[in-house]
Amino acid sequence: MLYHIRMDVNLPPDLDPEERADLLAREKEYSQKLQREGKWPHLWRIAGEYANVSVVDLADHDELHSVLSGLPLFPYMNIEVTPLAVHPNKING
């Protein structure tokens, strides 16, 4: 199943710099693993914001929840999920 996801990150300004660096390193490792597995085929930064839009390809809503809640930055995110369906005008191939 394909999902369009918007993630807005809101890290506390007083977060310890070492904790912040560790959090960001773990986030990068986790998201790149999912990209290599083909589960996160699109990841785009929103210019001028600490936010991204993504398209993920996962088995079901349960896997989606597991992937999102596994993000190290999850406690600091506002997330909007939109399930996607094939458009009838899409050219196949």
| pLDDT tens digit sequence for 33-92 | 999 999 999 999 999 999 999 999 999 999 999 999 999 999 999 999 999 999 999 997
- The pLDDT of residue 26: 98
| pLDDT tens digit sequence for 15-25 | 999 999 999 99
Q: What is the mean pLDDT of residues 6-18?
A: 97
Q: Cβ atoms within 10 A of the Cβ of 67, count?
A: 19
All residues at 6 or more sequence positions from 54 whose CB lies less than 8 Å from its CB, including other chains:
4, 5, 7, 40, 42, 43, 44
| Domains present along the chain, CATH in parentheses | 2-84 (3.30.70.1060)
Does residue 93 carry a pLDDT above 80? no
Longest CA pairwise span in the chain (Å): 50
